[in-house]
Amino acid sequence: MRRTLSLVLCLGLFSSLATAGTHGILEGTVKDRRTGERLPGATVVIVGLQMGASTDSAGHFKISNVRAGRYEVRCTLVGYRSTVIRNVAVNPDLRTSILVELESSDVQLSEITVFQEKPVLQKDVTSTTYQVPGEELLALPIDRVPELLRFKPGITAEGNVRGGRSTELVYLVDGLPVQDALGGGIGVTLPMTSVGGLTLTTGGFEAQYGNALSGVVNIVTRTGTDRHSFFAQVENDNACGLGINQSNRTTQFELSAAGPIALEKAYYAASLHGYVSGTRWWQDFRYFFEAPNDRLYSGFAKVNIRFTPLMQLELQGLYSGHNWRDYEFNWRYDLSGLPPERQTSNRLAAILSHTLSQSFFYTASISRYELRSEIGDGSKSDVSGAEPYQYDFELRYIVDGKRAWWSRSRQQSYTAKFDGTVQAAANHLFRFGAEATVYELTADMVKYEPRKTFFGKPLVGEPPLDFSSNYTYRPWSGSLYAQSKIDLLKEGLLFNLGLRYDIMNPTARRPQIESVPVNDSSYVFNVMGFVPASVKQQVSPRIGVSMPFSEKIFFYINLGWYFQFPLFDYLYRGLDRVSLARGISAITGNPDLNPERSQMWEFGLKYTFPLDVLGSITYFRKETRNLVDTKTFIAGDSKAAGNYGFAEFVNTPYALASGVEIVLSRDRGTWLTGEISYTFMKAEASSGSSYDGYYTAQFGIPPSTREYPLSWDQRHTVKALLTVTAPTRTTLTTAFEYHTGRPYTYYPTSTGYDKIVGGAFSQNNARMPAYTNIDIKLAQVFTFGASADTRLTLYLDSRNLLNAKSVRWVDSNGVIGGELGDPSGYFTGRRTNLGLRCEF
């Protein structure tokens, strides 16, 4: 452990890693309100941060290294009334410009308060980027931060961004990754009140962001201010008495607090979230287990220590724990046979932010992140593949037995980062950085799965497939980047140029395997030796250009090369000597997998309509190569190969996604805000998942030799997220989604074992019905006290308001829910939560 920490710290000292945007720049001009004359010598201070600047001879000021968030800005000058601008939004990686107009006065008068509105058009952005303030999340019909993504253009409900796989999206919390490096996706759960804001980039992300092919979600956490604030919320989905069939028996709560520990010296912020549920399937679960069947708890806390107004240290801790049981309809008479699952994650981080001058500031950080996952109780010696499940007479339902699955995994990562920003000239902003991360990965799994036909019928009497694996590895990765923003003309042509270099050492050896035929349909595989896996490197240039044609029309274009290292489980699974010698692992890792690479470009046009409505149209195209799939080393039908066949992860598929996004948005207004979007998109590839080659070979089907529509290929999608605010402090947020049917493979069978005569296999050759959904959140705010500091909010959150029976999946015969009529063939019906929130 000491050697690991020492290596990380040394790499952090000798290199500098980009802390993905948590800070921005606040700048502006101070003028005389009556004459328009620029005012030098005015003092501009960000209230609560003790950060400020004075205007120069041209009345201009700049405050660098401001943490993203919303602030009050106070401007003072002798002979003028003090002015406070509220709701000034500082966004990560961007400049926020404000105009302050002071009113002259010969006597001391009360200060003037001005409410700052968000600019309709952000002109220093050269990609598709969405900024969401933390307070807006509470108004949406969502429970967790990732659910926000499905409301944005080009993203499916499953999290596929612009035609990519769901694992191609990277999540960052305060610039530090919180990924599941073994299985993919986000590895933590954040309380909603801990989020100060987030940035979602779905195309053309800058060089400081790496290890992502499709998009980046950068979450900036909330920071305490000079005033204490407290928050409490509770909600339940059965409080409305709408019937047991429209309830998951879910209750959740959230508590948070923030404020000063010592004014101008130290501040705190903390949040706690709890969620317990019987799940959609509680009526079946109740015969086997006591409710709840799904428990999730998460907490976040941080302390900011300000040594000086220009230097501060942030210490933070994050924890989440999740215990649950999966539900499968064909196990409904033996749910106790499905193993329980648990996942815990935690992260400790220290972030130092220091402004050396108005022209240079930096952010340095170190962190330790851990994710543990468990499947099943007891020990792995209790699991055996020799005990098959007991099916009913028609081989439809499992009536006895236990799923042979036991797993323990632990992943730790130690990261050191340093990010520097230099104002090289008045029109040139330069960023640079590097990264160093060391991983400690341990996975131990025993898993046997019965052989099945393509149609899901069990092959009784056939030996099960063995997916067991056990490994421990310590890979490391690092990167360097440089990014320049050059504004050639004031409020004009902007160049955004970046270059990123990444390196990853799997620190593993690849087995040399020799196949020896046993008969015409099976092989024995012998390990002849091991070859060290090569170090993987990638250079990724990024180019973005933006230019306004007028005050209302704005154009941008970007071109970039992106990469993502394969999930570590694809590299290491089944590579231990014992498994290889016995030939028992059905799928074997490949530590020599290359990074997945994509080339993506987009161009967009934005236009400002009356009433502060912003319209945009964007065309994008993304080509991806080196995607991970499996290649099966067997002859013919694997059902005849016994335990001697195996599949290895390889780089083979090619994917192409392209489309058009049209968006109308209104971010500021007194009664109506939100956005409406339409997306046309095509997503095709020669492989839909990392296991396609294995499963098609298992069923005796040759792998695809052509590109076909992927399962998330939503050709036409319409979304609307609108908020109506009434003078009575009543708000109604409505989320509408519609998309045409997604593809599935129509390959009919009458027996579940044999295809219908004349039926040819072609992947995703048919489409399901269209999908429609409406969610709403209705809230009424009550205020108390002379200054209305105490607010009580009563809200109603209804998902699938119209109780639409939208199709989720069909079987190869095109039957919704398959031959069992599985209710999971439809998305969840209407669920209505009633909640109460108190803020003071």
Comparing CA positions, the residue from 643, 647, 675 lying closest to residue 661 is 675
Please tell me the predicted confidence (pLDDT) of residue 372.
Answer: 96
Task: Please say whether the beta carbons of 118 and 130 come within 8 A.
Answer: no
The ranges assigned to domains in the chain are 14-115, 126-839
Report d(CA 268, CA 481) in Å as an integer.
Answer: 32
Do residues 398 and 387 make contact, with C-beta atoms less than 8 angstroms apart? no
pLDDT at 15: 33
Q: Which of 66, 67, 77, 69 is closest to 100 using CA atoms? A: 77
CA distance 587 to 573: 7
d(CA 100, CA 95): 16
Phi, psi (5° rounding) for residue 245? Answer: -80, -5
For domain 126-839, give the CATH number. Answer: 2.40.170.20
What is the structure's pLDDT at 642? 39
**What distance, in Å, lies between the first and last C-alpha atoms of the chain?**
44
CA nearest to 415, candidates 181, 166, 64, 169: 181
Instruction: Give the rounded distance of the alpha carbon of 798 from its chain centre.
Output: 24
Question: Residue 460 has what pLDDT?
Answer: 81
The answer to whether the beta carbons of residues 653 and 686 sit under 8 Å apart is yes
Q: What is the pLDDT of residues 642-687, one digit of tens each?
A: 344 567 888 888 899 999 999 999 988 788 999 999 999 999 998 8
Pick the closest to residue 641 from 701, 700, 580, 578 (CA basis). 700
Cα angle value 153/93/550 (rounded, 5°): 65
Q: What is the DSSP string of 647-690?
A: EEEEE--EEEEEEEEEEEEE---SSEEEEEEEEEEEEEES-SST
Q: How does pLDDT run across 338-376, given as a tens digit for each residue?
A: 999 999 999 999 999 888 887 888 899 999 999 999 999
3-state secondary structure labels for all residues of 596-658: EEEEEEEEEEEEEEHHHEEEEEEEEEEEEECCEEEEECCCCCHHHCCCCCCEEEEECCEEEEE
Strands annotated E in 358-475: 360-375, 390-391, 398-400, 405-425, 428-449, 465-466, 469-473
Tell me which architecture the domain covering 14-115 has in CATH. Answer: Sandwich (2.60)
Distance between CA atoms of residues 653 and 238, nearest Å: 47
Residue 489: predicted pLDDT: 64
Closest by alpha carbon to 372, among 410, 319, 334?
A: 410
Check the CA dihedral 389-395-399-403 and report its sign.
Answer: positive
pLDDT at position 327, please?
94
Low-confidence stretches of the chain (pLDDT < 50) are 1-20, 634-644
Quote the pLDDT of residue 652.
Answer: 82
Tokens 């799923």 -> residue: 403
The dihedral region occupied by 138, where left means phi > 0, alpha psi between -120 and 50, and beta the remainder, is alpha
How many Å apart are CA 133 and CA 146, to the nearest integer?
Answer: 14
Interacting residues of 130 by C-beta distance below 8 A, sequence separation 6+? 152, 199, 200, 201, 202
How far apart, in whole angstroms, are the C-alpha atoms of residue 771 and residue 741?
7
